[in-house]
Structure 1
Amino acid sequence: MNTEWMDEVARRAALHAALSDPGRLAVVELLSRGDASPSELARTLAVPSNLLAHHVNVLVEHGLVERTRSEGDGRRTYLRLLPVDLGTGPGALPRPARVLFVCTANSARSHLAVALWRSASDVPAASAGTHPAPAVHPGAVAAAARHDLTLGDARPRLLDDVRQDGDLVVTVCDRAHEEVDVDADVHWSIPDPVRAGTDDAFDRAVVALDRRVALLAPRLVA
Protein backbone atom coordinates (compact mmCIF):
# COMPACT_ATOMS: atom_id res chain seq x y z
CA MET A 1 0.00 0.00 0.00
CA ASN A 2 1.21 3.51 -0.82
CA THR A 3 2.81 4.91 2.36
CA GLU A 4 2.47 8.54 1.30
CA TRP A 5 -1.23 8.08 0.60
CA MET A 6 -1.79 6.48 4.01
CA ASP A 7 0.11 9.32 5.67
CA GLU A 8 -2.18 11.80 3.94
CA VAL A 9 -5.25 9.84 5.03
CA ALA A 10 -3.95 9.84 8.61
CA ARG A 11 -3.34 13.59 8.43
CA ARG A 12 -6.89 14.29 7.25
CA ALA A 13 -8.29 11.92 9.87
CA ALA A 14 -6.46 13.89 12.56
CA LEU A 15 -7.94 17.12 11.22
CA HIS A 16 -11.44 15.71 11.30
CA ALA A 17 -10.82 14.37 14.81
CA ALA A 18 -9.85 17.87 15.89
CA LEU A 19 -13.16 19.11 14.48
CA SER A 20 -15.25 16.39 16.11
CA ASP A 21 -15.98 18.69 19.05
CA PRO A 22 -18.94 21.03 18.35
CA GLY A 23 -17.14 23.94 20.00
CA ARG A 24 -14.10 23.63 17.75
CA LEU A 25 -16.25 23.16 14.67
CA ALA A 26 -18.12 26.33 15.62
CA VAL A 27 -14.82 28.22 15.92
CA VAL A 28 -13.78 27.08 12.45
CA GLU A 29 -17.19 28.03 11.04
CA LEU A 30 -16.90 31.54 12.47
CA LEU A 31 -13.31 31.96 11.28
CA SER A 32 -14.30 30.84 7.78
CA ARG A 33 -16.18 34.17 7.57
CA GLY A 34 -13.28 36.28 8.83
CA ASP A 35 -10.67 36.71 11.55
CA ALA A 36 -11.62 37.22 15.18
CA SER A 37 -9.95 37.71 18.54
CA PRO A 38 -10.40 35.01 21.21
CA SER A 39 -12.57 37.38 23.26
CA GLU A 40 -14.83 38.02 20.25
CA LEU A 41 -15.23 34.28 19.68
CA ALA A 42 -15.92 33.64 23.36
CA ARG A 43 -18.68 36.27 23.35
CA THR A 44 -20.25 34.98 20.15
CA LEU A 45 -20.20 31.35 21.29
CA ALA A 46 -21.06 32.19 24.93
CA VAL A 47 -18.32 29.93 26.29
CA PRO A 48 -15.79 30.55 29.10
CA SER A 49 -12.46 31.97 27.98
CA ASN A 50 -10.52 28.96 29.30
CA LEU A 51 -12.65 26.56 27.23
CA LEU A 52 -12.26 28.74 24.16
CA ALA A 53 -8.48 28.81 24.72
CA HIS A 54 -8.44 24.99 24.83
CA HIS A 55 -10.34 24.75 21.54
CA VAL A 56 -8.02 27.27 19.90
CA ASN A 57 -4.90 25.45 21.11
CA VAL A 58 -6.14 22.20 19.56
CA LEU A 59 -6.90 23.91 16.25
CA VAL A 60 -3.49 25.63 16.21
CA GLU A 61 -1.75 22.34 17.03
CA HIS A 62 -3.40 20.67 14.03
CA GLY A 63 -2.53 23.49 11.64
CA LEU A 64 -6.10 24.66 11.15
CA VAL A 65 -5.74 28.07 12.78
CA GLU A 66 -2.91 30.53 13.35
CA ARG A 67 -2.48 33.47 15.69
CA THR A 68 -1.42 36.91 14.48
CA ARG A 69 -0.61 40.03 16.47
CA SER A 70 -2.82 43.07 15.87
CA GLU A 71 -1.23 45.96 14.00
CA GLY A 72 -3.50 48.26 16.00
CA ASP A 73 -3.64 47.27 19.66
CA GLY A 74 -0.49 45.18 19.97
CA ARG A 75 -1.90 43.43 23.03
CA ARG A 76 -4.63 41.87 20.92
CA THR A 77 -4.34 38.61 18.99
CA TYR A 78 -6.41 37.61 15.99
CA LEU A 79 -7.15 34.06 14.95
CA ARG A 80 -7.03 33.21 11.27
CA LEU A 81 -8.30 30.07 9.55
CA LEU A 82 -5.58 28.50 7.44
CA PRO A 83 -6.33 27.21 3.92
CA VAL A 84 -6.78 23.52 4.71
CA ASP A 85 -9.00 21.44 2.43
CA LEU A 86 -11.34 19.36 4.57
CA GLY A 87 -13.58 18.32 1.71
CA THR A 88 -16.50 20.32 3.08
CA GLY A 89 -17.95 23.71 2.16
CA PRO A 90 -18.97 26.56 4.49
CA GLY A 91 -22.58 27.54 5.00
CA ALA A 92 -24.45 30.26 3.16
CA LEU A 93 -24.87 33.83 4.39
CA PRO A 94 -27.66 36.29 3.52
CA ARG A 95 -26.94 38.33 0.41
CA PRO A 96 -26.29 41.96 1.41
CA ALA A 97 -27.20 45.03 -0.61
CA ARG A 98 -23.48 45.82 -0.87
CA VAL A 99 -20.11 44.78 0.54
CA LEU A 100 -18.17 47.66 2.07
CA PHE A 101 -14.45 47.14 2.62
CA VAL A 102 -12.98 49.36 5.32
CA CYS A 103 -9.43 50.17 6.40
CA THR A 104 -7.90 53.14 8.16
CA ALA A 105 -6.50 55.21 5.29
CA ASN A 106 -8.57 53.71 2.47
CA SER A 107 -5.46 53.94 0.32
CA ALA A 108 -4.51 50.32 -0.44
CA ARG A 109 -6.08 47.17 1.00
CA SER A 110 -9.72 48.26 0.81
CA HIS A 111 -9.40 49.38 -2.83
CA LEU A 112 -7.61 46.17 -3.82
CA ALA A 113 -10.34 44.19 -2.05
CA VAL A 114 -13.03 45.95 -4.09
CA ALA A 115 -11.19 45.23 -7.34
CA LEU A 116 -10.86 41.55 -6.44
CA TRP A 117 -14.47 41.37 -5.29
CA ARG A 118 -15.82 42.76 -8.55
CA SER A 119 -14.06 39.93 -10.39
CA ALA A 120 -15.63 37.31 -8.11
CA SER A 121 -19.17 38.45 -7.34
CA ASP A 122 -22.09 40.44 -8.74
CA VAL A 123 -22.84 41.85 -5.27
CA PRO A 124 -21.91 45.55 -5.43
CA ALA A 125 -18.83 46.64 -3.51
CA ALA A 126 -17.36 49.88 -2.21
CA SER A 127 -14.57 50.97 0.12
CA ALA A 128 -13.98 53.61 2.76
CA GLY A 129 -11.60 54.63 5.52
CA THR A 130 -11.89 55.74 9.11
CA HIS A 131 -9.13 58.32 8.51
CA PRO A 132 -8.76 58.65 4.73
CA ALA A 133 -5.40 59.44 3.15
CA PRO A 134 -5.06 62.17 0.50
CA ALA A 135 -4.76 59.63 -2.33
CA VAL A 136 -4.54 55.95 -3.21
CA HIS A 137 -1.03 54.71 -2.47
CA PRO A 138 1.19 54.28 -5.56
CA GLY A 139 2.13 50.82 -4.36
CA ALA A 140 -1.51 49.76 -4.53
CA VAL A 141 -1.84 51.18 -8.04
CA ALA A 142 1.26 49.27 -9.14
CA ALA A 143 0.07 46.05 -7.49
CA ALA A 144 -3.29 46.33 -9.23
CA ALA A 145 -1.52 46.64 -12.56
CA ARG A 146 0.67 43.60 -11.83
CA HIS A 147 -2.39 41.49 -10.98
CA ASP A 148 -4.62 42.78 -13.78
CA LEU A 149 -7.00 44.50 -11.38
CA THR A 150 -8.95 47.63 -12.20
CA LEU A 151 -9.05 50.39 -9.60
CA GLY A 152 -10.84 52.84 -11.86
CA ASP A 153 -11.22 56.30 -10.36
CA ALA A 154 -10.70 55.03 -6.81
CA ARG A 155 -10.04 57.66 -4.17
CA PRO A 156 -10.00 57.59 -0.36
CA ARG A 157 -13.35 58.42 1.23
CA LEU A 158 -14.60 58.74 4.80
CA LEU A 159 -16.59 55.82 6.19
CA ASP A 160 -19.41 58.03 7.45
CA ASP A 161 -19.89 59.40 3.91
CA VAL A 162 -20.02 55.98 2.26
CA ARG A 163 -21.72 53.58 4.64
CA GLN A 164 -25.34 52.67 3.84
CA ASP A 165 -28.05 50.55 5.42
CA GLY A 166 -27.77 46.99 4.19
CA ASP A 167 -23.96 47.04 3.81
CA LEU A 168 -21.96 44.00 4.83
CA VAL A 169 -18.99 45.75 6.43
CA VAL A 170 -15.66 43.94 6.06
CA THR A 171 -12.69 45.48 7.87
CA VAL A 172 -9.37 44.61 6.23
CA CYS A 173 -7.31 46.53 8.78
CA ASP A 174 -6.79 45.77 12.48
CA ARG A 175 -6.82 49.44 13.44
CA ALA A 176 -10.15 50.07 11.72
CA HIS A 177 -11.64 46.91 13.23
CA GLU A 178 -10.66 48.02 16.72
CA GLU A 179 -12.32 51.44 16.45
CA VAL A 180 -15.46 51.30 18.56
CA ASP A 181 -17.80 52.96 16.07
CA VAL A 182 -16.98 50.78 13.03
CA ASP A 183 -19.02 47.71 14.07
CA ALA A 184 -17.82 45.36 11.32
CA ASP A 185 -19.70 42.25 10.26
CA VAL A 186 -16.54 40.48 9.09
CA HIS A 187 -12.85 41.11 9.81
CA TRP A 188 -9.85 40.13 7.69
CA SER A 189 -6.56 40.76 9.47
CA ILE A 190 -4.43 41.74 6.46
CA PRO A 191 -0.95 43.19 7.21
CA ASP A 192 -0.54 46.77 6.02
CA PRO A 193 1.62 46.76 2.84
CA VAL A 194 2.15 50.51 3.08
CA ARG A 195 4.27 50.00 6.19
CA ALA A 196 6.83 47.95 4.24
CA GLY A 197 6.29 49.82 0.99
CA THR A 198 7.71 46.98 -1.13
CA ASP A 199 6.22 45.30 -4.18
CA ASP A 200 6.37 42.01 -2.30
CA ALA A 201 4.32 43.40 0.59
CA PHE A 202 1.61 44.66 -1.77
CA ASP A 203 1.61 41.38 -3.69
CA ARG A 204 1.19 39.43 -0.45
CA ALA A 205 -1.75 41.65 0.44
CA VAL A 206 -3.37 40.93 -2.93
CA VAL A 207 -2.90 37.17 -2.49
CA ALA A 208 -4.33 37.25 1.05
CA LEU A 209 -7.31 39.34 -0.03
CA ASP A 210 -7.92 37.14 -3.05
CA ARG A 211 -8.11 34.04 -0.84
CA ARG A 212 -10.59 35.71 1.51
CA VAL A 213 -12.73 36.97 -1.35
CA ALA A 214 -12.82 33.49 -2.86
CA LEU A 215 -14.09 32.10 0.46
CA LEU A 216 -16.72 34.75 1.14
CA ALA A 217 -18.18 35.52 -2.29
CA PRO A 218 -19.83 32.11 -2.93
CA ARG A 219 -21.50 32.23 0.49
CA LEU A 220 -23.61 35.32 -0.19
CA VAL A 221 -26.85 33.96 -1.57
CA ALA A 222 -30.33 35.39 -2.00
Structure 2
Amino acid sequence: MNIDQGVTFQARVAKHAALADPARLRIVDLLTLGDLSPKELQSELGMPSNLLSHHLRTLEEAGLAVRLRSEADRRRSYFKLAPAALEGLVPGREHDARRVLFVCTRNSARSQLAAALWANISSVPSASAGTHPAEHVAQGAIEVARRNGLNLRDALPRRIDEVALDEDLIVTVCDNAHEELPGLHGIHWSVPDPLRLNNDPAFEDAFADISRRVHDLALRVRAA
Protein backbone atom coordinates (compact mmCIF):
# COMPACT_ATOMS: atom_id res chain seq x y z
CA MET A 1 0.00 0.00 0.00
CA ASN A 2 1.43 3.36 -1.04
CA ILE A 3 0.39 6.02 1.50
CA ASP A 4 1.34 9.63 0.74
CA GLN A 5 3.66 10.83 3.50
CA GLY A 6 4.14 14.28 1.99
CA VAL A 7 3.19 17.75 3.18
CA THR A 8 -0.53 17.31 2.46
CA PHE A 9 -0.70 14.09 4.44
CA GLN A 10 1.15 15.62 7.40
CA ALA A 11 -1.22 18.61 7.35
CA ARG A 12 -4.18 16.22 7.55
CA VAL A 13 -2.53 14.40 10.47
CA ALA A 14 -2.04 17.72 12.29
CA LYS A 15 -5.68 18.69 11.81
CA HIS A 16 -6.98 15.34 13.04
CA ALA A 17 -4.64 15.46 16.04
CA ALA A 18 -5.85 18.97 16.90
CA LEU A 19 -9.50 17.98 16.57
CA ALA A 20 -9.05 14.91 18.76
CA ASP A 21 -9.30 17.16 21.83
CA PRO A 22 -12.95 17.78 22.88
CA ALA A 23 -12.36 21.46 23.70
CA ARG A 24 -10.69 22.18 20.37
CA LEU A 25 -13.41 20.32 18.49
CA ARG A 26 -15.98 22.49 20.29
CA ILE A 27 -14.07 25.66 19.33
CA VAL A 28 -13.98 24.64 15.67
CA ASP A 29 -17.68 23.78 15.80
CA LEU A 30 -18.40 27.31 17.04
CA LEU A 31 -16.15 28.87 14.40
CA THR A 32 -18.01 27.11 11.60
CA LEU A 33 -20.83 29.60 12.21
CA GLY A 34 -18.90 32.82 12.71
CA ASP A 35 -15.85 34.57 14.13
CA LEU A 36 -15.38 34.88 17.89
CA SER A 37 -13.03 36.82 20.15
CA PRO A 38 -11.03 34.95 22.81
CA LYS A 39 -13.25 36.55 25.47
CA GLU A 40 -16.39 35.30 23.71
CA LEU A 41 -14.91 31.82 23.38
CA GLN A 42 -13.91 31.83 27.05
CA SER A 43 -17.45 32.77 28.04
CA GLU A 44 -18.91 30.07 25.79
CA LEU A 45 -16.55 27.33 26.95
CA GLY A 46 -16.08 28.33 30.61
CA MET A 47 -12.34 27.62 30.69
CA PRO A 48 -9.33 29.57 32.03
CA SER A 49 -7.74 32.03 29.60
CA ASN A 50 -4.34 30.27 29.66
CA LEU A 51 -5.90 26.94 28.68
CA LEU A 52 -7.95 28.62 25.94
CA SER A 53 -4.78 30.29 24.61
CA HIS A 54 -3.12 26.88 24.40
CA HIS A 55 -6.03 25.42 22.43
CA LEU A 56 -6.20 28.40 20.06
CA ARG A 57 -2.46 28.26 19.43
CA THR A 58 -2.75 24.54 18.62
CA LEU A 59 -5.57 25.24 16.15
CA GLU A 60 -3.53 27.99 14.49
CA GLU A 61 -0.48 25.73 14.17
CA ALA A 62 -2.64 22.99 12.63
CA GLY A 63 -3.96 25.39 10.00
CA LEU A 64 -7.53 25.26 11.33
CA ALA A 65 -7.92 28.80 12.67
CA VAL A 66 -6.66 32.29 11.86
CA ARG A 67 -6.41 35.30 14.17
CA LEU A 68 -7.70 38.67 12.90
CA ARG A 69 -7.22 42.09 14.50
CA SER A 70 -10.47 44.01 15.08
CA GLU A 71 -10.93 47.06 12.88
CA ALA A 72 -12.97 48.71 15.66
CA ASP A 73 -10.64 48.15 18.63
CA ARG A 74 -7.09 47.21 17.64
CA ARG A 75 -6.51 45.70 21.08
CA ARG A 76 -9.17 43.10 20.32
CA SER A 77 -8.87 40.09 18.02
CA TYR A 78 -11.14 37.50 16.48
CA PHE A 79 -10.61 33.91 15.44
CA LYS A 80 -12.01 32.53 12.19
CA LEU A 81 -11.71 29.24 10.40
CA ALA A 82 -8.77 29.09 8.02
CA PRO A 83 -9.68 28.78 4.31
CA ALA A 84 -10.54 25.15 3.45
CA ALA A 85 -9.95 24.20 7.10
CA LEU A 86 -12.74 21.62 7.11
CA GLU A 87 -12.47 20.13 3.65
CA GLY A 88 -13.82 16.60 3.88
CA LEU A 89 -15.25 17.17 7.37
CA VAL A 90 -18.91 17.70 8.28
CA PRO A 91 -19.58 20.97 10.17
CA GLY A 92 -21.66 21.20 13.33
CA ARG A 93 -25.13 22.31 14.26
CA GLU A 94 -27.94 23.63 12.06
CA HIS A 95 -30.30 26.58 12.63
CA ASP A 96 -34.01 27.09 12.11
CA ALA A 97 -34.88 30.64 11.04
CA ARG A 98 -37.84 32.62 9.76
CA ARG A 99 -35.51 35.27 8.34
CA VAL A 100 -31.80 36.08 8.27
CA LEU A 101 -30.88 39.71 9.02
CA PHE A 102 -27.40 40.88 7.99
CA VAL A 103 -26.09 43.88 9.94
CA CYS A 104 -23.14 46.24 9.56
CA THR A 105 -22.55 49.82 10.69
CA ARG A 106 -23.68 51.85 7.68
CA ASN A 107 -25.68 49.20 5.78
CA SER A 108 -24.00 50.48 2.65
CA ALA A 109 -21.84 47.56 1.49
CA ARG A 110 -21.19 44.31 3.37
CA SER A 111 -24.68 43.73 4.81
CA GLN A 112 -26.32 44.71 1.51
CA LEU A 113 -24.11 42.28 -0.42
CA ALA A 114 -24.76 39.49 2.09
CA ALA A 115 -28.54 39.91 1.90
CA ALA A 116 -28.48 40.00 -1.90
CA LEU A 117 -26.31 36.87 -2.08
CA TRP A 118 -28.54 35.09 0.41
CA ALA A 119 -31.71 35.91 -1.53
CA ASN A 120 -30.09 34.40 -4.60
CA ILE A 121 -29.47 30.96 -3.08
CA SER A 122 -31.84 30.40 -0.15
CA SER A 123 -35.62 30.15 0.25
CA VAL A 124 -35.31 31.58 3.77
CA PRO A 125 -36.05 35.34 3.57
CA SER A 126 -33.28 37.85 4.21
CA ALA A 127 -32.92 41.54 5.03
CA SER A 128 -30.13 43.96 5.93
CA ALA A 129 -29.73 46.91 8.29
CA GLY A 130 -27.17 49.19 9.91
CA THR A 131 -26.50 50.55 13.38
CA HIS A 132 -25.75 53.98 11.84
CA PRO A 133 -27.01 53.76 8.24
CA ALA A 134 -25.51 55.83 5.44
CA GLU A 135 -27.57 57.95 3.05
CA HIS A 136 -27.02 55.55 0.16
CA VAL A 137 -25.39 52.26 -0.81
CA ALA A 138 -21.68 52.59 -1.65
CA GLN A 139 -20.95 52.78 -5.36
CA GLY A 140 -18.26 50.13 -4.98
CA ALA A 141 -20.83 47.72 -3.58
CA ILE A 142 -23.23 48.45 -6.42
CA GLU A 143 -20.49 47.81 -8.97
CA VAL A 144 -19.16 44.58 -7.45
CA ALA A 145 -22.74 43.32 -7.18
CA ARG A 146 -23.32 44.15 -10.86
CA ARG A 147 -20.13 42.34 -11.90
CA ASN A 148 -21.38 39.26 -10.07
CA GLY A 149 -24.94 39.27 -11.39
CA LEU A 150 -26.68 41.05 -8.50
CA ASN A 151 -28.55 44.36 -8.43
CA LEU A 152 -28.20 46.82 -5.53
CA ARG A 153 -29.23 49.99 -7.39
CA ASP A 154 -32.60 50.23 -5.63
CA ALA A 155 -31.31 49.19 -2.20
CA LEU A 156 -31.58 51.72 0.64
CA PRO A 157 -29.70 51.70 3.98
CA ARG A 158 -32.01 51.26 7.00
CA ARG A 159 -31.64 51.31 10.79
CA ILE A 160 -31.60 48.00 12.62
CA ASP A 161 -34.40 49.06 15.00
CA GLU A 162 -36.62 49.71 11.97
CA VAL A 163 -35.96 46.31 10.44
CA ALA A 164 -35.17 43.71 13.12
CA LEU A 165 -37.76 41.15 14.19
CA ASP A 166 -37.63 39.04 17.36
CA GLU A 167 -37.40 35.82 15.35
CA ASP A 168 -34.52 36.96 13.09
CA LEU A 169 -31.26 35.04 12.92
CA ILE A 170 -28.92 38.04 13.03
CA VAL A 171 -25.53 37.93 11.31
CA THR A 172 -23.19 40.87 11.94
CA VAL A 173 -20.70 41.32 9.11
CA CYS A 174 -18.85 44.23 10.70
CA ASP A 175 -16.68 44.37 13.84
CA ASN A 176 -18.06 47.78 14.82
CA ALA A 177 -21.68 46.58 14.69
CA HIS A 178 -20.84 43.39 16.58
CA GLU A 179 -19.04 45.27 19.35
CA GLU A 180 -21.77 47.90 19.50
CA LEU A 181 -24.40 45.19 20.11
CA PRO A 182 -22.70 43.09 22.83
CA GLY A 183 -25.84 41.34 24.09
CA LEU A 184 -26.90 40.20 20.65
CA HIS A 185 -27.38 36.47 20.20
CA GLY A 186 -26.44 35.63 16.65
CA ILE A 187 -23.51 35.00 14.33
CA HIS A 188 -20.56 37.29 13.63
CA TRP A 189 -18.41 37.45 10.49
CA SER A 190 -15.31 39.63 10.76
CA VAL A 191 -15.27 40.96 7.19
CA PRO A 192 -12.81 43.84 6.50
CA ASP A 193 -14.49 47.09 5.47
CA PRO A 194 -13.95 47.58 1.69
CA LEU A 195 -14.65 51.31 2.08
CA ARG A 196 -11.37 51.75 3.96
CA LEU A 197 -9.52 51.29 0.66
CA ASN A 198 -12.56 52.03 -1.52
CA ASN A 199 -11.22 50.35 -4.65
CA ASP A 200 -12.31 47.42 -6.82
CA PRO A 201 -9.93 44.82 -5.29
CA ALA A 202 -11.17 45.64 -1.77
CA PHE A 203 -14.80 45.21 -2.81
CA GLU A 204 -13.99 42.01 -4.72
CA ASP A 205 -12.21 40.58 -1.66
CA ALA A 206 -15.14 41.47 0.59
CA PHE A 207 -17.60 39.98 -1.90
CA ALA A 208 -15.61 36.72 -2.14
CA ASP A 209 -15.38 36.43 1.67
CA ILE A 210 -19.08 37.10 2.16
CA SER A 211 -20.08 34.81 -0.70
CA ARG A 212 -18.16 31.88 0.77
CA ARG A 213 -19.68 32.43 4.20
CA VAL A 214 -23.22 32.88 2.85
CA HIS A 215 -23.01 29.65 0.86
CA ASP A 216 -21.66 27.74 3.87
CA LEU A 217 -24.35 29.08 6.22
CA ALA A 218 -27.20 28.59 3.73
CA LEU A 219 -26.55 24.83 3.79
CA ARG A 220 -27.24 24.85 7.54
CA VAL A 221 -30.24 27.16 7.90
CA ARG A 222 -33.71 25.66 7.56
CA ALA A 223 -36.98 27.57 7.27
CA ALA A 224 -38.67 27.71 10.67
Q: Percent identity?
A: 52
Mapping of residues 70-109 of structure 1, within 5 Å: 70-82=70-82, 83-109=84-110
Q: Equivalents in 1 of 2:147, 2:35: separation in Å?
A: 27
Task: Report whether the alignment pairs 1:220 with 2:215.
Answer: no
TM-score w.r.t. length of structure 1: 0.95
Classify the secondary structure of the residue corresponding to 2:73: coil
What secondary structure sits across from 1:101 in the alignment? strand
Deviation of the 1:181 alpha carbon: 5.8
Cα distance, 1:28 vs. partner? 0.4
How many Å separate the matches in 2 of 1:14 and 1:200? 33
Aligned residue type for 1:120: I
Shift of 1:180: 3.5
Q: Deviations over 1:165-194 (max 9, x none)?
A: 110010000000001466140000000001
CA distance in 1, matches of 2:124, 2:181: 27
TM-score by length of 2: 0.94
Shift of residue 31, structure 1, vs aligned partner: 0.5
Gaps of 5+ in 1: none
Equivalence map 1:32-181=2 (5 Å): 32-82=32-82, 83-151=84-152, 153-180=154-181
Structural RMSD (CA):
1.6
Q: What corresponds to 1:210 in structure 2?
A: 211
Runs of 4+ in 1 over 6 A off after TM superposition: none
Measured in 2, the distance between the counterparts of 1:152 and 1:164 equals 25
Shift of 1:97: 0.8
Letter in 1 for 2:10: A
More divergent stretch after superposition (200-209 vs 91-100): 91-100
1-structure distance, mates of 2:171, 2:79: 16
1:13 matched to 2:9? The reply is no
Aligned length: 221
CA shift digits 1:72-105 (9 cap, x unpaired) = 1111100011122442211332311100000000
Distance 1:46 1:183 in 2: 19
Question: Does the residue aligned with 1:95 lie in a helix, a strand or coil?
Answer: strand
